[in-house]
A and B are shown apart, each in its own frame.
Chain A
Amino acid sequence: MKSKKIGGELAFAGSLLILGLVVLYDTSKMLVPPGSGTVGPQVFPYLVSGFVIFISLGLFVQIFRGNLGIPEGTEFGEVVEKTDFKSLAMVAGSMLTYPLLIERAGFIIASSVVFFGVAFAYGAKNLLKNLAISVIFSLIVYFAFSKGLNVSLPAGILGVFE
């Protein structure tokens, strides 16, 4: 139990430590505008960085004593021991396309792509059906928001049809 895969845990505690150090560094290099008063903009970040570093060290101790985190349970089936990197990468990859596409290609395309990609990663087998649902979903959301609620969404390259 003890030596069992603590690499991930250590990486987590390590990232927390780095976060604390980054805050510490940034705060020490901060340009403090004159007249910031006795308690300037650095006090709170210093306290927070100290807190984060302290907690991360505590986590290291906890991990080395064999006290590992309990992965959160879900409502969607059993939690598995090994991460399914393939599905994870597919979902993450689909999400990544969104900021790249939203303004270049427009909402409808960006939304359809991410919808299709995530559904595929989650095991939607029928590609044609998936594609149809993706596009219909995005069209409904687009028109409900931009026409019905006046929330502006980028029309993108499909804007010429309006």
Chain B
Amino acid sequence: MSSFNSLMEGFASALTLNNLLFGLIGTILGTLVGVLPGIGPALAIALLLPITYSVSPASALIMFAAIYYGAMYGGSTTSILLNTPGESGSVITALEGHQMAKRGRAGSALATAAIGSFVAGTIATAILAFTAPSLAEWAFKVTAADFFALMLIAFTTVGTLLGNSMLRGMASLGVGLVIGIVGSDLQSGAVRLTFGNLHAIDGIETVTVIVSLFALGEALYIAGRAKATGWSIIPMKGKAIMTRQDLKRSWRPWLRGTAIGFPLGVIPAGGSEVPTFLSYAAEKSLSKNKDEFGHGAIEGVAGPEAANNANAAGALVPLLALGLPTSATAAVILVALQTYNIQPGPMLFSTNPEIVWTLIASLFIGNTLLLLLNLPLVRVWAKLLNIPRPYLFSGITSFALMGAYVVNNAIFDLWIALGVGVIGFAFRRFGVPITPLIIGVILGPMAELQMRRALQISGGEFSALYATSMSKILYVILFVVVIGPLVWNFKKKLALKK
């Protein structure tokens, strides 16, 4: 019951008038930025980070949670009205949702997405509140070697599951690991990869990397490689409400989506692509209206949208309890927490309980605010889609550059940002996924720390890395994750040859 009491205290600290105001601002900004095509939740949060710099931790957290959910919701609005999924998690939503919009049912699609996201987000946050503390308690027993093995699994799954080519995912991870090495080594003080630059000794700012990889890379890529074709925005007719019939068809997919999305967020499964796809497949096979799929079946919006949100909340479990981000968005949240000197991980629940519980309570509040705000305002959001492409990209670019600058007020960070922007361009051009790089930058230094801890204890004996029973199990899982797809591909090739 102590979790419950702590959660109530979290609500008490989050629910002040001042904080609610920040929550409201966060919801508006998050949705605003999330609706803009080309900006997914990870970039939206990274872009809005500077805003939270000057407010108190509790206010920042609630604003942050609101931005997080707002950005996700905004993304689904874009998918439905514009058929341009802002992130991989909304691809499926676009599939059915846009068809619904074309048939004049945009209101129902938006409503089922919003209410489904709310239901899934609330259930998932509740599970998070009750599982994360026990996971953190258990994590105290986890040794450095186990942590290192866990991180290798995270690297591998993120690197291999995203994008079309395993090798290219790994290339992205490798570049991220290199960026993570730059600067002075915290344990020994040795200076690495700085080439005599004094600024580089402090390392490369993660926010800078994220913002420029997404925003500057995209701006360069679209300018150089995309031919402008017009958008076909479906005008919003009527209100975003659901009929009784819609509700009857939606509530089961919401719950199923939650059940699929949450566990896949907890384990490092490489983001929201897999769960939304699985949810869609499940709804399609269970539906009585199979023929509607592909032409705007409401179940195909309700399920994946719920899965997407539950998955996002699930990703917070390893983030808070183990300090292990498993998606780009979770990585950005980690960075944001670090700006407040909050280091997620097993210690967090005992050292900063008030912060964790305020954050969790904020998630509930943010989610609720969003529902209250978005359904009535959906027409206003839809108007944002009319921003002409040139101004959209100028806005994104100058905002991203500002974001890179204000972290330290350093011009050095801007040069880094431009360099990373070029990497972002090259990655898109050569089909290399971006998320593994971000995970590499953030998890790389942590993995090194755990590896050295484990080896320090053993006196440099490498067998220490797989000495515990847990690490042994983890390496078996790792082996399956790496080898499994390879064998499967090989078999497929053989079958094709026959």
- Determine whether the beta carbon of B38 is less than 8 Å from that of A75: yes
Given A41-B185, A141-B402: A72 and B395 within 8 A (CB)?
A: no
- A119-B405 Cα distance, complex, nearest whole Å: 21
Contact string against A for B residues 195-230, beta-carbon threshold 8 Å, 1 for contact and 0 otherwise = 100000000000000000000101111111111110
Question: Quick one: which of A138-159 are within 8 Å of B by CB?
Answer: 138, 141, 145, 149-154
Looking at B293-301, B345-353, B411-419, the stretch in contact with chain A turns out to be: B411-419
- Determine whether the beta carbon of A138 is less than 8 Å from that of B398: yes
> Is B8 part of the contact surface with A, judged by Cβ < 8 Å?
no
A34 → B minimal CB distance (Å)? 9
Given A9-B430, A26-B193: A115 and B394 within 8 A (CB)?
A: yes
Question: Quick one: which of A18-63 are within 8 Å of B by CB?
Answer: 19-20, 22-23, 26-27, 30-33, 35-45, 48-49, 51-52, 55-56, 58-59, 62
Contact string against B for A residues 84-108, beta-carbon threshold 8 Å, 1 for contact and 0 otherwise = 1101101110111011001100010
Given A12-B430, A27-B192, A71-B428: A36 and B222 within 8 A (CB)?
A: no
- Determine whether the beta carbon of B429 is less than 8 Å from that of A71: yes
> Is B251 part of the contact surface with A, judged by Cβ < 8 Å?
no
- A30-B191 Cα distance, complex, nearest whole Å: 7
- Determine whether the beta carbon of B418 is less than 8 Å from that of A43: no
- Determine whether the beta carbon of B190 is less than 8 Å from that of A74: no
- A104-B82 Cα distance, complex, nearest whole Å: 41
- Determine whether the beta carbon of B224 is less than 8 Å from that of A88: yes
- A80-B441 Cα distance, complex, nearest whole Å: 31
> Is B431 part of the contact surface with A, judged by Cβ < 8 Å?
yes
Contacting residues, chain B, for A114 (C-beta < 8 A): 394, 397-398, 401
Contacting residues, chain B, for A128 (C-beta < 8 A): none
Given A45-B192, A58-B167, A114-B398: A8 and B430 within 8 A (CB)?
A: yes
> Is B460 part of the contact surface with A, judged by Cβ < 8 Å?
yes
- Determine whether the beta carbon of A91 is less than 8 Å from that of B53: no
Given A9-B430, A76-B38, A122-B223: A152 and B409 within 8 A (CB)?
A: yes
- Determine whether the beta carbon of A70 is less than 8 Å from that of B431: yes
* Contact with B192, one of A16, A26, A58, A94 (Cβ below 8 angstroms): A26
- A22-B174 Cα distance, complex, nearest whole Å: 13
- Determine whether the beta carbon of A38 is less than 8 Å from that of B455: yes
- A68-B399 Cα distance, complex, nearest whole Å: 34
B379 → A minimal CB distance (Å)? 21
* Contact with B224, one of A16, A83, A103, A120 (Cβ below 8 angstroms): A83
- A69-B393 Cα distance, complex, nearest whole Å: 26
- A79-B428 Cα distance, complex, nearest whole Å: 11
- A137-B387 Cα distance, complex, nearest whole Å: 13
- A36-B402 Cα distance, complex, nearest whole Å: 38
- A130-B390 Cα distance, complex, nearest whole Å: 9
> Is B85 part of the contact surface with A, judged by Cβ < 8 Å?
yes
Given A98-B401, A138-B398: A84 and B430 within 8 A (CB)?
A: no
* Contact with A71, one of B38, B167, B399, B430 (Cβ below 8 angstroms): B430
Contact string against A for B residues 110-121, beta-carbon threshold 8 Å, 1 for contact and 0 otherwise = 000000000000
- Determine whether the beta carbon of B220 is less than 8 Å from that of A92: yes
- A80-B53 Cα distance, complex, nearest whole Å: 40
- A119-B432 Cα distance, complex, nearest whole Å: 27
How many residues from B make CB contacts under 8 Å with A? 81
* Contact with B188, one of A40, A87, A95 (Cβ below 8 angstroms): A40
Contacting residues, chain B, for A91 (C-beta < 8 A): 219-220, 223-224, 397
A87 → B minimal CB distance (Å)? 4
A43 → B minimal CB distance (Å)? 7
Given A72-B428, A111-B402, A115-B397: A59 and B167 within 8 A (CB)?
A: yes
Contact string against B for A residues 114-131, beta-carbon threshold 8 Å, 1 for contact and 0 otherwise = 111111111110000010
* Contact with B190, one of A33, A69, A79 (Cβ below 8 angstroms): A33
Interface core residue of A45, A98, A151 (most chain B CB under 10 Å): A98
- A72-B432 Cα distance, complex, nearest whole Å: 8
Residue on B with the closest CB to A113?
A: B398
> Is B281 part of the contact surface with A, judged by Cβ < 8 Å?
no
- A145-B175 Cα distance, complex, nearest whole Å: 33
- Determine whether the beta carbon of B390 is less than 8 Å from that of A119: yes
Residue on B with the closest CB to A62?
A: B167
A85 → B minimal CB distance (Å)? 7
Contacting residues, chain A, for B164 (C-beta < 8 A): 69-70
Given A41-B188, A52-B178, A119-B390: A23 and B193 within 8 A (CB)?
A: yes
- Determine whether the beta carbon of B190 is less than 8 Å from that of A40: yes
Interface core residue of A37, A78, A95, A107 (most chain B CB under 10 Å): A95
- A81-B82 Cα distance, complex, nearest whole Å: 24
- Determine whether the beta carbon of A77 is less than 8 Å from that of B411: no
> Is B187 part of the contact surface with A, judged by Cβ < 8 Å?
yes
Contact string against A for B residues 65-85, beta-carbon threshold 8 Å, 1 for contact and 0 otherwise = 000000000000000001011
Contact string against A for B residues 155-167, beta-carbon threshold 8 Å, 1 for contact and 0 otherwise = 0000000001101
Given A40-B188, A102-B414, A118-B394: A141 and B399 within 8 A (CB)?
A: yes
A37 → B minimal CB distance (Å)? 6
Contacting residues, chain B, for A87 (C-beta < 8 A): 223-224
B169 → A minimal CB distance (Å)? 10
Show 10 residue pairs from A and B whose CB-CB distance is below 8 angstroms, ordered by the A residue: A12-B430, A19-B178, A26-B195, A36-B188, A37-B188, A41-B190, A52-B175, A72-B428, A95-B220, A141-B402
What residues of chain B have their CB less than 8 Å away from a CB belonging to chain A?
37-38, 50-51, 53-55, 82, 84-86, 164-165, 167-168, 170-171, 174-175, 177-178, 181, 185, 187-193, 195, 216, 218-229, 388-391, 393-395, 397-399, 401-402, 405-406, 409, 411, 414-415, 418, 421-422, 426-432, 444, 447-448, 451-452, 455-456, 459-460
Q: A-B pairs with the 10 shortest C-beta distances?
A: A69-B431, A75-B84, A88-B224, A122-B390, A77-B229, A99-B414, A41-B190, A36-B188, A124-B390, A38-B460
